[in-house]
Amino acid sequence: MNAMVSLRSLHKTFGRRPAIEDISLDVPEGEIFGLLGHNGAGKSTTFGILLGMVAPSRGEAFIAGHSVQKNRHLALARVGAIFETPSFYEYLSGWENLRFFVSLSGQDVPRHELEAAVGLVGLGDRIGDPVKNYSHGMRQRLGLAQALVPRPRFILLDEPTDGLDPLGIREMRGLIRRLRGEFGITVMLSSHLLSEVEQLCDRVAILHSGRMVFCGEWHGAPDRWRLDLDPLAPAGEILNAHGLRRVQDVWAAPAGFDPAGLVEALVRAGIQVREVRPVRQTLEDFYLETIGR
């Protein structure tokens, strides 16, 4: 499958402070990809480079095969984005804002396409109101509506659920799934709500202090096991021999781990085995472990 987004050895330094270092990744067409990291990890810088708002110190970003740095207008021709908090002209209506931002796409966009985007995000009855009267959730929806016109192949969403109530978060999640499912749009998003990313994303990249410390299907990460052994101390050697590693109150197992073999070895050594149970690892666990917290 072709890569919709490719980042090649991206570096960015603000003054003497490196913001990102050697970020390379590919996002195939049709994927929902999550970019995770603490504040200041480099997510916004990476998004900024992808949109041509931040110039990389080194490296290059490609969208649909076009270099953002060399052919920005081609690279962004079919891209919709919400970069940081969506901001609008408060004194204009939602519709006027939408028309203005869409006009900058340089394409003739028929009215029905604008109306369809407004309908899709559920703003139909309030689109004529001034934006100053919009709630935060409505602004997020308007931000998404403007990103959907003209119909994009790739959408970049920076904290799309930021400030939304639980219902709004669920609706946004449903909408993002629809965008991929019905329209085949590739989505790249960042969020601090790891449970949302967990439900939405096929793959994630984790940035920490400007470096990419993980990129891939986090579900493929080593399993976790809860062990209740008595006595525990003498079991250490056997656990090590099976490649188990303590992570907080559970044990990380390597690929191909054989739990039956472990139990057999423990019993043979006279250790009482009260519990050997796989523990489903959440993205939050995985994230915190990956960044070393």
Partner 1 sequence: MRIFLRQLGGELRKLFARKRTYIGFAAFLGVELVVLGLLRLPKVQRGLERLLEGAGYAAADYLSGLTLGLMIMLSTVFLLGALYLALVAGDVVSKEVEDGTLRMMLCRPAGRNRILALKFCACLIYTAVLTLYIAATALAAGYLHAGGGGLFVFAPTEGIFAIYEAGPGLARIALGIPLLALSLSTITTIGFFFSCLKMKPAAATILTLSVLFVDTILKNIPFFSGIRDWFLTAKMSAWALVFEYRIPREILIEEYAWLAAFNITLLVLGALAFSARDFKS
Which residues in this chain contact partner 1 in the complex, by CB under 8 A? 14, 44-45, 48, 51-55, 72-74, 76-77, 79-89, 91-92, 96, 99-101, 103-108, 143, 146-147
Helices (H), 184-275: 194-200, 236-241, 259-268
Q: What is the dihedral of CA 224, 229, 231, 232, to 10 degrees?
A: 0
Q: Which is nearer to partner 1, 36 or 81 (CB)?
A: 81
Q: Which is nearer to partner 1, 73 or 293 (CB)?
A: 73
Question: Using the 8-state DSSP alphabet, how is residue 220 labeled?
Answer: G
Distance in Å, CB of 168 to partner 1, minimum: 20
Does residue 110 have a cis peptide bond before it, meaning omega lies within 30 degrees of 0? no
Distance in Å, CB of 273 to partner 1, minimum: 54
* Parallel/antiparallel/unpaired status of strands 272-279 and 224-230: antiparallel
User: Which residues lie below 8 Å from residue 3, measured CB to CB, with a gap of 6+?
Assistant: 26, 27, 28, 29, 62
Q: Which is nearer to partner 1, 12 or 208 (CB)?
A: 12
Distance in Å, CB of 86 to partner 1, minimum: 7
Q: Which residue is listed with tokens 């996002």?
A: 27
Q: Which is nearer to partner 1, 92 or 276 (CB)?
A: 92
Query: Which two three-digit tokens encode residue 285?
Result: 């666990």
Distance in Å, CB of 58 to partner 1, minimum: 15
Q: How far is CA 60 from CA 13, 24, 43, 66, 285, in A?
A: 14, 9, 16, 10, 32
Helices (H), 51-207: 72-75, 94-103, 111-120, 136-147, 166-183, 194-200
Measure CA 1 to chain center.
Answer: 20
CA R_g for the chain? 23
Distance in Å, CB of 79 to partner 1, minimum: 8
Distance in Å, CB of 59 to partner 1, minimum: 15
Element (H, E) at 187: strand 186-190
Q: Which is nearer to partner 1, 65 or 234 (CB)?
A: 65
Q: Which is nearer to partner 1, 81 or 185 (CB)?
A: 81
Q: Which is nearer to partner 1, 146 or 186 (CB)?
A: 146
Distance in Å, CB of 44 to partner 1, minimum: 6
